[in-house]
Amino acid sequence: MGWILKFVDSSIGKKFVMAVTGLSLILFLIIHLAGNLTLYISEEAFNSYVSTIDIIKPLIRVAEVILALFFIFHIYNGFRLWYENRKAKSSKYKVNVSSKNSTIYSRTMIISGSIVFIFLILHLSTMWYAFNFGEHGENHSYYKIVLDWFSNPVYSMFYVFAMVLLGFHLNHGFQSAFQTFGWTHKKYTPFIEKLGTLYAIVMAVAFASIPIYFLFFFGGK
């Protein structure tokens, strides 16, 4: 076991943990989004989707624990790398040329990541809590919970803002994970970069469209 601890403590090991957890979370987002999109079909479709998940609740709980571990390792390592890297660069140059030699997405991972982290806490304490532990009376509707939260303009606007930054984060994170694994290739890397950007745009737009839909179009009602 000693070697694993030493490996994840090395510079490349920390990057490896970021890449493995990051790519796993990227896959999770696709599943999450697929469920969210049932909101666009109808109130019944969304409610029956959530109720179906309820049937396999024990399995979902196991998945949630694994997911939580991925988040914890990703966030802990991210902050640790940021802190250590700041220490390694003790002073800055008078003239800052970072915009000429790197992308804004790659330089702001700690900012975009932190905002998404704040969003995550808010998201768990509102939607996730209400879905899992909220008081559900007769004829309750999960759809109504979503509608209620997104009717709050501050909540919805922060949601949209966080999703834009999530897009920034994913745009760099996707291709960055492949570089960390050492999976670079003249033929495939340009494709992976484009796929990462496309994925980031689709995720940001699709997730952000939901609060906009509810806030301005009241879920089409």
Partner 1 sequence: MSSENLDLTLMIWRQESSQSVGSFEEFKVSVSPDASILEMLDELNNRLEKEGKNPVAFESDCREGICGTCGLVINGHPHGKIPNIATCQLHMRNFEDGETLYIEPFRAKAFPVLKDLIVERDGMDKILQAGGYISISTGGVPDANEMLISKETSSLAMDAAECIGCGACVAACKNASAMLFVGAKVSQYALLPQGQPERYRRVQSMVAVMDEMGFGSCTNTYACEAECPKGISITNIARMNRDFIVAKFKSQDEDS
Contacts to partner 1 by CB under 8 A: 2-3, 6-7, 10-16, 81, 84-85, 87-98, 100-103, 106-107, 109, 172, 175-176, 179-184
Between 93 and 217, name the residue whose CB sits nearer to partner 1. Answer: 93
Show Cβ contacts of residue 113 under 8 Å, excluding neighbours closer than 6 positions: 75, 78, 169
Q: How far is the CB of 110 from partner 1 (least distance, A)?
A: 9
CB 176 within 8 A of CB 112: no
Q: How far is the CB of 72 from partner 1 (least distance, A)?
A: 19
Q: How far is the CB of 190 from partner 1 (least distance, A)?
A: 12
Between 21 and 156, name the residue whose CB sits nearer to partner 1. Answer: 21
Between 159 and 199, name the residue whose CB sits nearer to partner 1. Answer: 199
Between 145 and 195, name the residue whose CB sits nearer to partner 1. Answer: 195
Q: How far is the CB of 8 from partner 1 (least distance, A)?
A: 10
Between 38 and 179, name the residue whose CB sits nearer to partner 1. Answer: 179
Q: How far is the CB of 112 from partner 1 (least distance, A)?
A: 12
